[in-house]
Amino acid sequence: MGPIRVERAPVVGRVYSVICPVCSNNVTFDCLSRSVYGIQCHFCHTVIDLRNPSVPLPLNDTGVLAEDVNGDFFFSPEVEESGRGSATTQLSMVLADFAEQQLKEMPTTMGGEARQAFSARRIQALSERFSFLYPLVHVIEYIVFGTKPVARIGHVRIFRKRLLFFWPVNIPVTKTSVSYSAPLTVAILLYLMTTFYTKSLDDEWMWCMHRFVTFFLVLFMVLLVCCVYTDPGFVRPAYLETNGSHMGELTLKEIEAKQRESRWEMVNGQPEERKWCSTCEIYRPVRAAHCYLCGLCVHDHDHHCSVIGVCVGRRNVRVFLFFVITTALLALLPGLSLLVKLFLDANSLTARQLGIGLLLIAVLLGLGLVVGFLGLTMLYSLAVETTTRERLQNTYANKKNPFNRGLLRNIFWHMCHRSLPSLFDDDFVQLCATQV
């Protein structure tokens, strides 16, 4: 025989729960007064009689005892006390847990590496707000790669696939690769809009220009894939040789605690710093930097492009430059074509065609000019042999750049010099697979 539940007097400050007789929703509430015997369901707005929850209160009943009524009422046995405490208590517990977690993970002072890690995590949290676009890339990666990588390292999954008639290759897929959903979606939507608008104009010259736009769209997609699914120049981490002592992500406090003094290396008579990476457990090569979004160090790290979710480094900076230039042309070509068409034949267009055309021109030219400017800054960086990271940090403001070979030699080296071999050879992938 189960325990007998009896009526109880309400206790102010405690939390109770009751089942709504109309929608069967579990309603939790704070007891704020001993004179309140009716509580409203948050879902169906029915006022529940706490004295007899099997039936709702009449519409004309406020659920509050009148001031002139003497005596107390009792909660029905169906009104049970919740074990979560009052709302104030719950909030205090949440804040206490947050403070305790922050104390565990956050150092009292943050150096350069910890600040970069903190900034990367904020960027990742911000990008996840646009996750409504991610299913597009999730579907693409599911169809092409499946769901089971052969290995993992840092925030990179490694898939082994056979491409056309070639032998199987190891393809790195970063955790942030889903970010390219946004530019891909925008490119496809703008292409479809310009296609329908060109069809409405029914102009032979516009159709001719639209063929070039189609070509640049295909080239855009090819270069996008080459940028996202290739090794940007990742550096081999040392912790793999120590049985993967921390394959997981370090806290900011651990990153700060594991810091060591830098080493220095002479490059063309100029001392260059080799910083210690707490995550990869190595003195990383000169000009390399750790990307906390990819989870690995990168040779000649330029920047992490959050738009397409990939690092730009020694092995893919050339492809990335071509991708940026192609993106600019993909926007500028239809924008300029529409501008010429509207300028020459404005009188023959309807008001609707003119309005839509001007809107498309503004979007396409604005996007093209912004991306084109980024392409020029990238080209300038290659010409003077600096990276975006070095320019932002003014690394060579007060000293000579030992890597600068001269304008033409710099461009020739980046366009024609053989890049580093990929980190993801079969032996490395097999080693990563044993650490998972």
- What's the pLDDT tens digit per position in 379-409? 999 999 999 989 888 888 888 889 998 888 9
The single-letter code of the amino acid at 78 is E
Where in the sequence numbering do the catalytic residues fall? Answer: 305
Domain finish residue from 88, 116, 149: 88
Residues 149 and 225 in one domain: yes
Is residue 64 one of the residues assigned to a domain?
A: yes
Residue 299: DSSP 8-state = T
Residues 208 and 323 in one domain: yes
Q: How many helices (H) and strands (E) does the chain have?
A: 11, 16
Is residue 360 one of the residues assigned to a domain?
A: yes
Domain finish residue from 88, 116, 148: 88
Residue 5 vs residue 378, higher pLDDT: 378
Residues 137 and 223 in one domain: yes
Residues 329 and 187 in one domain: yes
Residues 78 and 209 in one domain: no
Which pLDDT score is estimated for 320? 95
Residues 353 and 225 in one domain: yes
- Orientation of helix 181-201 relative to helix 351-383, angle to 10°: 140
Q: What is the percentage of the chain residues whose pLDDT exceeds 90?
A: 35
Least confident piece of the model among 160-164, 179-183, 212-216, 230-234: 160-164
Residue 186 vs residue 108, higher pLDDT: 186
Is residue 101 one of the residues assigned to a domain?
A: no
Is residue 325 one of the residues assigned to a domain?
A: yes
Is residue 37 one of the residues assigned to a domain?
A: yes
Is residue 251 one of the residues assigned to a domain?
A: no
pLDDT > 90? residue 168: no
Residues 78 and 163 in one domain: no
Which pLDDT score is estimated for 108? 60
- The boundaries of the domain holding residue 411 are 132-234+313-435
Domain finish residue from 88, 122, 154: 88
Residue 323: pLDDT band (50, 70, 90) is very high
pLDDT > 70? residue 155: yes
Which pLDDT score is estimated for 211? 93
| Concatenated DSSP letters of 418-433 | --PPPS--HHHHHHHH
Which pLDDT score is estimated for 138? 82
pLDDT > 80? residue 114: no
Which pLDDT score is estimated for 1? 46
Residues 72 and 143 in one domain: no
Q: Which two tokens stand for residue 378?
A: 């990238």
Is residue 108 one of the residues assigned to a domain?
A: no
Q: Residue 100 — left, alpha, or beta (φ > 0 → left; ψ -120 to 50 → alpha)?
A: alpha
Residues 201 and 330 in one domain: yes
In the numeric block, the tokens 């330029």 are attached to 302
Least confident piece of the model among 111-125, 303-317, 324-338, 390-404: 111-125
Is residue 154 one of the residues assigned to a domain?
A: yes
Which pLDDT score is estimated for 2? 47
Number of domains in the chain: 2
Which pLDDT score is estimated for 246? 53
Residues 69 and 143 in one domain: no
Q: Give 81-87 contacts, CB < 8 A, sequence gap 24+.
A: 81/8, 81/14, 81/15, 81/16, 81/17, 82/14, 82/15, 82/16, 82/17, 82/28, 84/15, 84/28, 85/15, 86/13, 86/14, 86/15, 86/30, 87/15, 87/30
- What's the pLDDT tens digit per position in 335-344? 999 999 888 8
Q: What is the percentage of the chain residues whose pLDDT exceeds 70?
A: 83
Residues 64 and 144 in one domain: no
Q: Which two tokens stand for residue 303?
A: 């920047």
Residues 422 and 338 in one domain: yes
Whether this prediction's pTM lies above 0.85 is answered by: no
